[in-house]
Structure formats: C-alpha cells, structure tokens
Amino acid sequence: MLQVVQSLGKMEFTLADVYAHAGSLAKLHPHNRHVRDKIRQQLQVLRDMGLLEFLGGGSYRLP
C-alpha cells in the first residue's frame, strides 16, 4: 500500500486517489473480495506506524 501511495506523486492525497488503484490491487489479490475495505485498513496501519498523517474527511498526507 505504501508503494501505491508513493506512486501517486504527491504529498497530500485522498482516499479516492487510492481507490483509483483498487482494480490493479484486486488483480494482485484475486481472492480478496473486499479490496476497498483492505485499502482503508492498510492506510490506518500506515498511519499508526507514523508513515501517513490522517487529515480527516478522507484526506491523508505523507509526513
């Protein structure tokens, strides 16, 4: 997930920006039928690790 975030090429991004990659993530993990849920979960993990800041309203920032 961090690679997807870094591939966006911007310091601040939205959940919608990451959701745009849901199709390619679904192809990488064909048995996961809840890709969008997993995206949100992994963004929370990255936040908890201090690798992302949650700004609210579906917005994030790389520190």
* pLDDT digit string, tens, across residues 23-61: 889 898 889 899 999 999 999 999 999 999 999 999 999
3-class SS at 25?
A: helix
Query: Residue 26: its pLDDT value, please?
Result: 87
pLDDT value of position 4: 92
Torsion angle of C-alpha atoms 32, 49, 9, 35, degrees rounded to 10: 10
CATH of the domain at 19: 1.10.10.10
How many structural domains does the chain have? 1
pTM of the model as a whole: 0.89
Segments forming the whole domain that contains residue 18: 2-61
User: How far apart are the C-alpha atoms of 53 and 46, rounded to whole Å?
Assistant: 9
Per-residue pLDDT of 7-23, as tens digits, reads 999 999 999 999 999 98
